[in-house]
A and B are shown apart, each in its own frame.
Chain A
Amino acid sequence: MAAHRCGLSLVFILIFSSLACHSSCDSLENANEDTEEKQSVSDTPREVNSDGSIAAEDLNERRGRSTDAELDRRDGTRTSEALTPAAAARDEFQEELVIRPLHSGDIYASFQFRTLWDTDFLQEGQKVSHYRLFPKSLGQVLSKFSVRELHISFTQGFWRTMQWGQPFIPSPPGAELWVWFHDTVSDVDGNWKELTNVLSGIFCASLNFIDLTNTVQPSASFKPLGLGNATDHRFLRYATLPREIVCTENLTPWKKLLPCGSKAGLAVLLKSEKLFHSSFHSQAVHIRPVCQDEQCTSKAWELRQTLNVVFDLYTAGQGKKEWSLFKMFSRTLTEACPLATSSKVYVDITDNPEGELFELSPATPLLSQAVVLGDRRTYSVFDLTRAETFGQLRSLNLLLRWKGDGGEMLRPLLHAERYVAGFGLQTGEIHTVIYNNHPYRAFPVLLMDSVPWYLQLYIHTLTVTSKSRDNKPSYIHYQPAKDRHRPHLLEMLIQLPPHSMTEVTVQFERALLKWTEYTPDPNHGFYVGSSVVSALVPSMVAMNTNFTQDQPLFSSFVPVKEESSYFVRVYTEPLLVNLPTPDFSMPYNVICLTCTVVAVGYGSFYNLLTRTFQVDEPSLPLAKRLANLIRRIRGVPLLT
């Protein structure tokens, strides 16, 4: 144990020295950054690590996690490869944390970890067995199931768009999984089934409850976010589990996918006792193919791990509007992940240009501007790869103290909510309300609803009204449910008039299920997953359509195709619907009673069919019959 600790401190010393060296290199580069190739930027940390100690440490750690025998066999060759900078250059890892003080007094913290894996995934039949930064468990999944794109999110709580604005990466409550398969896959459903079971194991979640009854193939709402423009939605599968509870056991495997685990870098902040003591918690994994560079000469797998959390420090902190990293996470930052090419903390100070609203300490001279979600925001940047960020104490504890009340928040341009109307357990009506808060622009939205089969939708009762006028959807894709086989899928393209409220209603009937099909708490109700509203919302400022490497991660997730609009996805609340229930204690009684009635029917018909009418001749009493027996023996006339 002592030897181990000794080794660890040695490693830390090495890391610090390398970081110091790195920052000096970085500042040198900043002088002539425009002429510098991207290649060299990403090369920098590798060059710093060229003494081999970090790479070796990394490999040892990864080998400890891997149980694959093959990996061990190839270890010798791998180490030598990793040591040569040219071969190691292509994979890279970035991490960042964005902190946005919300107008409600809550704090929104968004972590993003991006791992690029340079491998030629499009070639068929090529077995990839070389893993550096990319987690092997996911890499194997990708190649085994011919996955083209994979998005999975686990969310606890509901994102309040009207109070908090738009999140960087939205996610519905519960678990959501959507996957694009390669178009060479023949048995998509089979692959999907296996994939969900494997992911269920990887993330310790109940994804194995995803089956055909809650899987849909949206025709327009979920386009691939990465390279390639696949349009055949037969290769897309989408499923949500709105009932899924997210907790520590999901966080731990998620953290293990990070190259540094939770040992160094931003991930040290991810302590579950604090993360799950929050108003909203969402963790996600997004895997997609992307371009390595602007010209798209080489492609790579991108793994984005995101974790969004909203802390309600206002009520927890006895009404004082004040937060710090330590208060939020019970940790402070001491270092960047040594494997990361960039490691930054952004604090949104757009609303506080003069420092009149809040005070941020330590102060940082670095400012960054980014156009995100149709808005130009200003951020204070803390670069963890620089030693001076940590100051004298060798630790960074951001502290923000509010001075006054926050001003009015800009209303989100697109907002949606949903509820169930009606009473009783026979019928009901789903109302989806979509708000367009743009003062003068109309824009179309795609509404997608996936409703379980036990709520029988009546599509002829579908009404779409905006400004109390009928608003006929220009496109409707409807797939009715099959009992116990597949859910309803309803997709509509609706034009939202400016500054309006659009209401979509559809009636449904509640089915009575078999007693074994109810959940253990049937009177709690059944969850219906969120509706998904996807839209290109007109932007207030020109969006950045250029592909640049140095964009912050949070602003570069969804590719921007045009300057005038940006893509937004809004999830509504999941619904909780009660169904009529049978009496669960009755199976034997019901079987007996119903069979009795059927038997009464059978018996009375059988009686009438097989017997004939006869005159009833009453038999003699017993005494007379005995007497007759004796009389017969005696030969005397019988009694009648």
Chain B
Amino acid sequence: MAAPLTLLLIVAVTIRAVLFRSSLAELISARVEVVSPLNAWKRVVEGLALLDLGVSPYSGDVFHETPLMIYLFHFTVDYAEIVFIVSAYFVDCLSCFLKPLDRAKMAINSNYLKSDLLFNFPGCCELISWFITIIVCLCFCKFHFLCTCKYTDVRLCHQIADGITALALYLSIQTYNKDVFRKQKYALESDRYSADCLELLRSPKEMFYIPLKVAMFYLLNPFTILSCVAKSTCGLNNAIIALFIFCTLKGSALLSGILLALATYQSIYPLTLFAPALLFFLQRLYIPVNLRRSSFWFFTLQYAFMYVGSLVVITGLSFFLLGSWDFIPSVYGFIFSVPDLTPNIGLFWYFFAEMFEHFRLFFSCVFQINVFFYTIPLSIKLKEHPVFLIFMQIAIISIFKSYPTVGDVALYMAFLPAWSHLYRFLRNIFLVSCVLLACSALFPVLWHLWIYAGSANSNFYYAITLLFNFGQILLVADYFYAYLRREHHLTHGLYLKKKDGTEATLVLK
């Protein structure tokens, strides 16, 4: 298992390194689809330049990263090697910390899960593969250093971020698959599934390569590669979210709370991931979701305290680093009020460029509430399936957030292989994939026609963003539908019959 993963990581790193070296890097980093005002690398450099000039980066309207981020990069630019070692150790420690935990769990599980051998957590294998990749990274980095570019080392940072994301996703999905398999086993043993749905059950064989596929979907997704080559800090946010998912699935409430706070601090929207994480922990600890149970409230408050506590600590830390609260309006105010209407792949920019002034506040409230709105109904509907809920939430955030980029899209798309068993229930996957592919190709074309050739106008680009978002919505809704339908079939049987014995069709009523 380690070998393909290592190979994958090396291939991914090589592609990125080659692109970094090519002249395409500059072109890519100027694409509006890849970078937004929130995460453009050019703006990070501008923030650093402002710091060097002795001007607060938040005094202007160019820099919108969080203070921790700018100090991280300030530090990275000066001490690349140290950060590199620290990152490596960080991942190392993380793996070591999780390993004994996993072993203990396995010992318990192995009593009644014979086939668990397939999922035997090969912690050291991953660790080895990680180190090999790091060494490759280091080689590329040295190569870059020789080419003497001031901010070269930051490329390494982005590559590491992508690596961390992929690895975290890989391990998360591995853990998740184990969970799924165990639950399936319980359900089978307790005869909860109907008799004719055996072909819906998942076999260890087909699940074996899913973690690798997930890592591959993330690392080799053109969207991720573009995002990494553009040095968009979106990759770092993705890494934080992936680590959060990893820690959650590994059952570490404290780390999960801290990372969720970090993700929220970075871009406010991951706030909605609180609900799925909580549901997952409750399920894991066999605490029923019952508002009258004290154990439910006890754990909820505990987790909320960890989350809010770390959020307060992080925000306080930024305040002490910066010496002022300027970053709150400049980062979060900027996310919520959408003052920058630079085109991107989202729904906000043209809508608010064309909005009537007296409706602006109303619609910005409506559009922002729309992102958070789905959390509660989805949590109720999917309370038994928190991981799918995480996927749904991430997808909704990346579609409806105010400054989306393709990096956000890549994160939720990485989960698609994990739902490969839903494939038979998807209704319009062909149409959706065609739409998404066509849109991805048309973005640069119509942008060129509008901005450079002058032969098209803004409506062309707007039309394609509309279609792209429409395709994404269809995709997510389709997966949601398929998931619910599979659950229905698992309990009610696959081949449903009408009263008169003919084959029945399922409808939503």
Pairwise interchain contact A605-B477, C-beta atoms closer than 8 A = yes
In whole Å, how far is B338's beta carbon from the nearest beta carbon of chain A?
11
Which parts of B453-490 form the interface with A (CB within 8 Å)?
457-459, 462, 466, 469-470, 473-474, 477, 480-481, 484-485, 488
CA distance A410 to B256 in the complex (A): 75
Partner of B451, one of A580, A591, A594: A580
Complex interface: chain A residues within 8 A of B30 (CB): 426-427
Partner of A424, one of B49, B50, B59, B452: B452
Pairwise interchain contact A483-B61, C-beta atoms closer than 8 A = yes
B348 and chain A: residue at smallest CB distance: A594
CA distance A229 to B50 in the complex (A): 30
Pairwise interchain contact A512-B55, C-beta atoms closer than 8 A = no
Pairwise interchain contact B341-A512, C-beta atoms closer than 8 A = yes
Pairwise interchain contact B45-A597, C-beta atoms closer than 8 A = no
User: Is A627's beta carbon under 8 Å from chain B?
Assistant: no
Pairwise interchain contact A581-B378, C-beta atoms closer than 8 A = no
Give a binary string over B348-366; 1 marks a CB under 8 Å from any A CB, 0 the rest.
Answer: 0111111111000000000
Partner of B53, one of A459, A509, A591: A459
Complex interface: chain B residues within 8 A of A598 (CB): 347, 367, 370, 400
Q: Which of B89-97, B122-130, B403-411, B496-504 contacts A (4 or more CB under 8 A)?
A: B496-504
A480 and B466 in contact, given A458-B42, A511-B342, A608-B477 (Cβ under 8 angstroms):
no
Pairwise interchain contact A460-B354, C-beta atoms closer than 8 A = no
In whole Å, how far is A153's beta carbon from the nearest beta carbon of chain B?
29
Pairwise interchain contact A514-B508, C-beta atoms closer than 8 A = no
Partner of B355, one of A476, A514, A612, A617: A514
Complex interface: chain A residues within 8 A of B378 (CB): 605, 609
Interface centre among B353, B357, B399, B504 (most CB of A within 10 A): B353
User: Is A12's beta carbon under 8 Å from chain B?
Assistant: no
In whole Å, how far is B57's beta carbon from the nearest beta carbon of chain A?
8
Complex interface: chain A residues within 8 A of B488 (CB): 612-613
User: Is B340's beta carbon under 8 Å from chain A?
Assistant: yes
CA distance A594 to B508 in the complex (A): 27
User: Is A582's beta carbon under 8 Å from chain B?
Assistant: yes
Pairwise interchain contact B507-A591, C-beta atoms closer than 8 A = no
Pairwise interchain contact B59-A479, C-beta atoms closer than 8 A = yes
Complex interface: chain B residues within 8 A of A609 (CB): 377-378, 381
Partner of A602, one of B339, B355, B370, B469: B370
Which parts of A578-614 form the interface with B (CB within 8 Å)?
580-583, 586-587, 590-591, 593-594, 597-598, 600-602, 604-605, 607-609, 611-614
Pairwise interchain contact B480-A605, C-beta atoms closer than 8 A = yes
User: Is B305's beta carbon under 8 Å from chain A?
Assistant: no
User: Is B25's beta carbon under 8 Å from chain A?
Assistant: no
CA distance A613 to B505 in the complex (A): 10
Partner of A597, one of B352, B451, B469: B469
B334 and chain A: residue at smallest CB distance: A483
User: Is A472's beta carbon under 8 Å from chain B?
Assistant: no
CA distance A76 to B353 in the complex (A): 63
CA distance A600 to B477 in the complex (A): 10
A483 and chain B: residue at smallest CB distance: B61
Pairwise interchain contact B355-A591, C-beta atoms closer than 8 A = yes
Give a binary string over B44-74; 1 marks a CB under 8 Å from any A CB, 0 the rest.
Answer: 0110111001010001111000000000000
CA distance A482 to B374 in the complex (A): 34
Pairwise interchain contact A608-B508, C-beta atoms closer than 8 A = yes
Pairwise interchain contact A459-B46, C-beta atoms closer than 8 A = yes
Give a binary string over A211-226; 1 marks a CB under 8 Å from any B CB, 0 the rest.
Answer: 0000000000000000
User: Is B386's beta carbon under 8 Å from chain A?
Assistant: no
Pairwise interchain contact A581-B458, C-beta atoms closer than 8 A = yes
In whole Å, how far is A638's beta carbon from the nearest beta carbon of chain B?
14
Interface centre among B60, B339, B466, B508 (most CB of A within 10 A): B60
Pairwise interchain contact B466-A516, C-beta atoms closer than 8 A = no
Which parts of B409-451 form the interface with A (CB within 8 Å)?
450-451
Pairwise interchain contact A591-B484, C-beta atoms closer than 8 A = no
Pairwise interchain contact A594-B340, C-beta atoms closer than 8 A = no
Complex interface: chain A residues within 8 A of B506 (CB): 613-616
Complex interface: chain A residues within 8 A of B62 (CB): 456-458, 480
B381 and chain A: residue at smallest CB distance: A609
Partner of B484, one of A458, A488, A593, A613: A613
Complex interface: chain B residues within 8 A of A586 (CB): 354, 459
User: Is A481's beta carbon under 8 Å from chain B?
Assistant: yes
Pairwise interchain contact A582-B342, C-beta atoms closer than 8 A = no
Partner of A483, one of B339, B343, B457: B339
In whole Å, how far is A624's beta carbon from the nearest beta carbon of chain B?
14
User: Is A453's beta carbon under 8 Å from chain B?
Assistant: yes
User: Is A557's beta carbon under 8 Å from chain B?
Assistant: no
B477 and chain A: residue at smallest CB distance: A604
Complex interface: chain A residues within 8 A of B114 (CB): none
Pairwise interchain contact B498-A601, C-beta atoms closer than 8 A = no
Interface centre among A458, A460, A605, A609 (most CB of B within 10 A): A460
Pairwise interchain contact A426-B451, C-beta atoms closer than 8 A = yes
Pairwise interchain contact A480-B61, C-beta atoms closer than 8 A = yes
User: Is B292's beta carbon under 8 Å from chain A?
Assistant: no
Pairwise interchain contact B507-A511, C-beta atoms closer than 8 A = no
Complex interface: chain A residues within 8 A of B349 (CB): 512
Complex interface: chain A residues within 8 A of B499 (CB): 617
Complex interface: chain A residues within 8 A of B205 (CB): none
Partner of B352, one of A426, A514, A581, A616: A514
Pairwise interchain contact A476-B53, C-beta atoms closer than 8 A = yes
User: Is A629's beta carbon under 8 Å from chain B?
Assistant: no
Pairwise interchain contact B477-A514, C-beta atoms closer than 8 A = no
Pairwise interchain contact B46-A591, C-beta atoms closer than 8 A = no
User: Is A425's beta carbon under 8 Å from chain B?
Assistant: yes
User: Is B509's beta carbon under 8 Å from chain A?
Assistant: yes
Complex interface: chain B residues within 8 A of A458 (CB): 42, 45-46, 62
User: Is A478's beta carbon under 8 Å from chain B?
Assistant: yes
User: Is A631's beta carbon under 8 Å from chain B?
Assistant: no
CA distance A425 to B343 in the complex (A): 12
User: Is A484's beta carbon under 8 Å from chain B?
Assistant: yes
B507 and chain A: residue at smallest CB distance: A616
Pairwise interchain contact A590-B350, C-beta atoms closer than 8 A = yes
CA distance A193 to B504 in the complex (A): 75
In whole Å, how far is B94's beta carbon from the nearest beta carbon of chain A?
34
A482 and B354 in contact, given A511-B341, A597-B347, A601-B399 (Cβ under 8 angstroms):
no
User: Is A515's beta carbon under 8 Å from chain B?
Assistant: yes
Which parts of A453-469 form the interface with B (CB within 8 Å)?
453, 456-460
Pairwise interchain contact B450-A591, C-beta atoms closer than 8 A = no
A608 and B466 in contact, given A512-B349, A583-B458 (Cβ under 8 angstroms):
no
Partner of A582, one of B55, B458, B466, B477: B458
User: Is A423's beta carbon under 8 Å from chain B?
Assistant: yes
User: Is A128's beta carbon under 8 Å from chain B?
Assistant: no
In whole Å, how far is A606's beta carbon from the nearest beta carbon of chain B?
8
A615 and B505 in contact, given A458-B46, A582-B353, A587-B355 (Cβ under 8 angstroms):
yes
Give a binary string over A510-552; 1 marks a CB under 8 Å from any B CB, 0 the rest.
Answer: 0111111000000000000000000000000000000000000
Complex interface: chain B residues within 8 A of A597 (CB): 347, 466, 469-470, 473
Pairwise interchain contact B496-A460, C-beta atoms closer than 8 A = no
Complex interface: chain B residues within 8 A of A483 (CB): 61, 339-340
In whole Å, how far is A50's beta carbon from the nearest beta carbon of chain B?
62
Complex interface: chain B residues within 8 A of A583 (CB): 354, 457-459
CA distance A516 to B352 in the complex (A): 11
Complex interface: chain B residues within 8 A of A600 (CB): 470, 473
In whole Å, how far is B74's beta carbon from the nearest beta carbon of chain A?
13
23 contacts between A and B (CB under 8 A): A456-B62, A458-B45, A459-B46, A459-B49, A476-B53, A478-B50, A480-B50, A484-B339, A512-B343, A512-B458, A513-B353, A515-B354, A582-B353, A594-B350, A597-B466, A597-B469, A598-B400, A604-B473, A605-B377, A605-B480, A608-B508, A612-B509, A613-B485
Closest 3 CB pairs of A and B: A480-B60, A460-B49, A604-B477
Other than A516-B357, A587-B355, A613-B492, give 13 A-B pairs with Cβ distance below 8 A: A426-B452, A453-B61, A458-B62, A481-B61, A580-B343, A580-B451, A587-B354, A590-B462, A604-B477, A605-B377, A611-B508, A611-B509, A617-B498
